[in-house]
Amino acid sequence: MGKEDHLTRQINQLGFVLSKILEMLVGTKNSDELSERVSEVNSKLKEKLDFNLEILDTISDENIIEFLIQKEGFNHSNIELFADILIKIDKEKYAKKALEIYNYVNQITATFSFERDLKIKELMVK
């Protein structure tokens, strides 16, 4: 029971951190501000998850899921939230990784999401 509580706490904490990161990115108005925010995101990722965007850039698109699920606290909701963050940081650069993540979440969840489906369609258009 204690182990499950600890894991649940870690998942919830990661969800909270990822939500805050996404909120920070959503409010950006120009490229200078976005650049500053991405730097902050990089620091937060390193501090909370022990990886940053530079490490993420070395991981192939096909291996992104394997990399993320090995990190403590990543469940399907948090993985999807992470994909949303990648899209806000740089849609062009991280489109394939985000698409891999969204497709993975579609496979492991029983619930259909119109919002996720729309994100997938938008990424496939480019």
Mean pLDDT of the chain: 89
Q: What is the mean pLDDT of residues 34-55?
A: 88
- The residue written with tokens 């997938």 in the block is 120
Q: 22 and 88 in contact (C-beta within 8 Å)?
A: yes
Q: What are phi and psi of 61, to 5 degrees?
A: -55, -40
Q: What is the pTM of this model?
A: 0.88
The pLDDT of residue 126: 62
Paired tokens of 73: 């606290």
- The residue written with tokens 């119109």 in the block is 114
Q: Computed from CA positions of residues 115, 67, 108, 125, in that sequence, does the dihedral angle turn out positive or negative?
A: positive
